[in-house]
Amino acid sequence: MNILKYKRVILWPVILMMSLAVTGCRKRNTTGNSLALATSHNGVIANPNRYAAELGAEDILALMRAAGLTDKSIVDLGPDLRTALATTGGATIRVAGKVEAICMAEPHRIVVTSRMRGPFVYDLKGDPQAIVLKSPIDGK
């Protein structure tokens, strides 16, 4: 009987560790939709970044057009892109299961890599609506 008691004592932590390992491996993002958005065909996945940027609607429209996105994608995903850049500073835009663009905020600009148009920099220096927040890490 003592052997069975020790097997139970050893077996339960092993089962607990395995279940935590399996559930802890899900890909999650910071926009609130976890695994479903990361594996869906269309969506914006927020990426943590050192800087965040609050952009106006005109900037989001110009940035997404420069990246080569369709009008429907801009209407559907523009608000999510704006939220992601304002909260985390980075975003991955997926359309039809493919990554169409990756955006990252930097001081006075947004760096974009687009599947359709390649890499480019969207300048924010002359835009009074754009607010680039300083890094909480280094305070620059």
Q: Residue 126: what pLDDT?
A: 61
| pLDDT digit string, tens, across residues 92-137 | 999 988 999 999 999 889 999 999 999 999 988 765 555 555 444 4
Is the predicted pLDDT of residue 15 greater than 90, yes or no? no
Which tokens go with 122? 């969207």
Q: Within its chain, how far is the Cα of 89 from the centroid? A: 8
Q: Residue 48: what pLDDT?
A: 92
Which tokens go with 98? 């493919």
Domain-wise residue ranges, the chain: 28-133
Q: Residue 42: what pLDDT?
A: 86
Is the predicted pLDDT of residue 91 greater than 50, yes or no? yes
CA–CA dist 52, 40 (Å, integer): 25
Residue pair 17/24 in contact (Cβ under 8 Å)? The answer is no
| pLDDT digit string, tens, across residues 19-75 | 655 555 444 444 444 444 455 578 999 999 999 998 999 999 999 999 999 999 999
Q: Give 23's contacts (C-beta < 8 A, 6+ positions apart).
A: none
Q: Residue 10: what pLDDT?
A: 64
Is the predicted pLDDT of residue 83 greater than 80, yes or no? yes
